[in-house]
Structure 1
């Protein structure tokens, strides 16, 4: 769908910083990275993850080399919900504390035991390095996230990490990805003389084993954190850097922008937006 625009359905092309890119000094591009599946270990709890989609815009200063990252309005990362193995029994039970053991005794019902974890953005990504994305063993981008734990007994505000103290993932390529380059038209169709250009880095996995994980917050039926201690105790959180890991399988990272932004100066940001709206169904 949408040809070469397909990975970029959330690019923040209408953000003022993107629109202000003149195409001469400041160059605006869209960035998207998709992982089909993966695994994450936080403390002593490990879960298989579903698909994760990371998207943001970048405004790069051609004179200084500095880049400003622009996140979409709904956050840079969107992750599929994942089941925590063992559910609440695995997170808190058994326990000799009456209030916790009382909950544990009610968990014969699988619906009450099930814990769903969803990765959410906890801030704007930072330090994007496209060159690192073409290599292995170098940090590509810093991604602040928090993990929402959902279960009736945990309330609606139970999180690992917060916006002020997030889990910061710094994925690196495990192997060197395949490189592809494609010119295309506004409708997404390939054209060797098209006004747009897409770089594709595919066929590899990414990982990170150096991040730290803070403790949980807001866990409990009253969302006041009354069960924080029980979850932290059973899952060994907080967990220091080096004791956690992330694996992203079958990753594909793309960038897209005007092939010759200088030819659209000083309105290159607006030109990118116009092309994106022509090519991406909203």
Structure 2
């Protein structure tokens, strides 16, 4: 097999990371995650964890570090009988590429994934009502306004992604990696611990490319200013389409007092749901990856220089 070039490896890493935002929601909200405004070609990387010890320790030989950011304006997810249209999402992370090994992702403060909330169609009334079960009927009578009826769904990480395949990132029809997630259902009557999936029994997404993204490369100075001879390099992959229809979805848990509403959520939503009955789609993702153009020339300071350049672009 021919060796993968440095440029192609960077592109594949970016493609892979774009896929992790197939479900446009995350464990942190845009209000809670620290965001820094950056200038020039650094602009997409507002949350890159450049000061994380694992990033700073990279020497440019044994480990090479980069920042990655993936943005999507919309998408959708179908779980059992329920399909939800999702809003804008933003995934950012640091990438530590180990020589001869697989990359390690470093999450920023507040979590790698933040996004708009997604509303469950029909809210709680659509999920459980009407019902001739006394406990459910009592809840239905309490739903007298939009606040009590509204259910939002937030997708959260439920473990570390595994099974990263570089070659699959440049082709279509092959899983690129496995991403364990859980979905937090939020409503005053469901309580604060209502989830579909868990760390022990997650939903495992195995996204794949439907079509290849458009590739672009830019050079820039450390502070983000465009420069065809700059020390930094930014790769972009835009217009990508990704999907997964192979994942199974477990039942809900923790809904209502002592989980007494789990069965009601599962019944109406059609959970548990076997593989083939569920799907996730991301439309028009834009993914960016940035790092030093020649990290081998700055050994042992790759991580420290990346941090220095990132901070120099702060506005």
TM-score normalised by structure 1 residue count: 0.91
Once the two structures are TM-superposed, the CA of residue 129 in structure 1 deviates from its matched residue by 4.8
Residue 267 of structure 2, aligned match among 233, 236, 251: 233
User: The residue matched to 2:41 in structure 1 has which SS?
Assistant: helix
Contact 2:212–2:241, Cα closer than 8 Å, also in 1: no
- 1:18-57 equivalence runs, <5 A: 18-57=55-94
Shift of 1:167: 2.0
CA distance in 1, matches of 2:71, 2:226: 21
Structure 2 residue 207 is the aligned partner of structure 1 residue 171? yes
Question: Distance between the aligned counterparts of 2:220 and 2:299, measured in 1?
Answer: 20
Could you list the structure 1 runs, at least 4 aligned residues long, displaced by more than 6 angstroms after superposition. none
Which shifted more, 9-18 or 243-252? 9-18
TM-superposed deviation, 1:108: 4.5
> Where does residue 125 of structure 2 map in the other structure?
89
Distance in 1 (CA, whole Å) between partners of 2:244 and 2:230 is 37
Question: Within 1, Cα distance between the matches of 2:54 and 2:307?
Answer: 12
Aligned to 1:217: 253
In structure 1, how many angstroms separate the alpha carbons of the residues matched to 2:120 and 2:138? 21
> Structure 1 184/129 Cα, relative in aligned 2: closer, same or farther at 3 Å?
farther
Cα deviation for residue 127 of structure 1 reads 4.2
Output the CA distance in 1 between the equivalents of 2:102 and 2:246: 25
In the superposition, relative to structure 1, how do residues 137 and 146 fare at CA in structure 2: closer, same or farther (>3 Å)? same
Equivalent in the alignment of 1:136: 172
Counterpart of 2:219 (choices 164, 169, 183) is 183
Task: Please give the secondary structure, in 2, of the residue aligned with 1:152.
Answer: coil
Where structure 2 has 5 or more consecutive residues not aligned to the other structure, the ranges are 1-37
Please report the RMSD computed on the Cα atoms of aligned residues, expressed in angstroms: 1.9
Alignment check: 8 A CA contact 1:214 1:237 kept: yes
- For 1:39 and 1:142, locate their aligned partners in 2 and report how far apart those are by CA, in whole Å: 18
- Report the Cα distance in structure 1 between the residues aligned to 2:166 and 2:237, rounded to whole angstroms: 10
Shift of 1:213: 1.4
Alignment correspondent of 1:261: 295
The residue matched to 1:269 in structure 2 has which SS?
A: helix
Q: Give distance in 1, aligned partners of 2:237 and 2:168.
A: 11
Cα distance in 2, alignment partners of residues 132 and 254 from structure 1: 18
SS of 2:211's equivalent in the other structure is coil
Distance 1:203 1:21 in 2: 32
Point out the more displaced range, 137-146 or 173-182: 137-146
Q: From the superposition, tell whether residues 3 and 167 of structure 1 become closer, same or farther in structure 2 (CA, over 3 Å).
A: farther
Give the secondary-structure state (helix, strand or coil) at the position aligned to 2:138: helix
Q: How many residues align?
A: 278
| Residue in 1 that maps onto 2:193 | 157
1:207/1:68 Cα in 2 relative to 1: closer, same or farther (>3 Å)?
same
Q: Give 1:136 deviation, angstroms.
A: 2.5
Which range moved further: 67-76 or 24-33? 67-76
Pick the aligned partner of 2:146 from 98, 110, 114.
110
Of 59, 77, 102, which residue of structure 1 is paired with 2:96? 59
Q: Quote the residue 1:78 is aligned against.
A: 114
Distance 1:225 1:145, change over 3 A: same
